[in-house]
Amino acid sequence: MKTDYKRERVFPLMFIIIGITLIIFGLILLGTFDSRIKLGLTILLIGIVIVFTRKGTIVDFNERKIKNYVGIFFVKIGNWQTIEDYTFISLLSINRTSYGYSRTGVQFSERKKIHRISLLNKTQRSQLLITDFKDKNNAILEAQLLAEKLKVEFVNYSPI
């Protein structure tokens, strides 16, 4: 049995807005100007790639493998890794901040607290990311469920 955990988008919010704008302009060029079909299609495809590209993780419980991927729609590019070296699963709380600047030089930031489920090796130094949650209670429930399915121990993160 495989489970697909879709994570964040590859591009930040400012690029997503640009991608949406490119999709709109590409559709306008496709619909109105016959001589600009190639340009419109190119702009449309670039916008689709920017808006819909995501990161994710596929966990195969039967084969005990994990695949971190970058994907767009049904195409998911990444390598499978065995999880035999990873004996623990843990929940890490992380404060994530991203910064941007406007044309006038004013800085703006976006802060998020995320709860990350990761597989850990024996020393808990090597981590293998599975997924992120915004709600801590849902993250704990999912981590416990994953620990049961993967037959690993759910522990508090404390590297040796």
Region 111-132: mean pLDDT is: 84
Q: Is 12 in the same domain as 53?
A: yes
Residues 54 and 87 in one domain: no
Q: Same domain, yes or no, for 70 and 100?
A: no
Q: Does one domain contain both 50 and 97? A: no
Answer yes or no: is 45 within a domain.
yes
Q: Which residue is it, tokens 């005990």?
A: 64
Regarding whether 70 and 28 lie in a shared domain, the answer is yes
pLDDT band at 63 (very low <50, low <70, confident <90, very high): confident
Residue 46 falls inside a structural domain: yes
Are residue 56 and residue 116 in the same domain, yes or no?
Answer: no
Residues 136-144: what's their mean pLDDT? 88
Rounded mean pLDDT, 24-44:
86
Domain encompassing residue 18 = 8-74
Q: Using DSSP, state whether 152 is helix, strand or coil.
A: coil
Last residue of a domain, one of 45, 74, 103: 74
Give the predicted TM-score (pTM) of the model.
0.74
Where are the extended beta strands (E) located within 10-134?
Answer: 53-60, 65-72, 75-82, 86-101, 107-121, 127-133
Residue 1 lies in a domain: no
Share of the chain above pLDDT 70, in %: 97
Q: Final residue of a domain: which of 74, 104, 119?
A: 74
| Residue type (1 letter), 17 | I
Instruction: Examine the domain organization and report whether 87 and 160 are in the same domain.
Output: yes
Q: Please report which confidence band the pLDDT of residue 156 belongs to, taking 50, 70 and 90 as the band edges.
A: confident
Instruction: Count structural domains, the chain.
Output: 2
- Select from 2, 5, 1 the least CA-distant residue to 138: 5
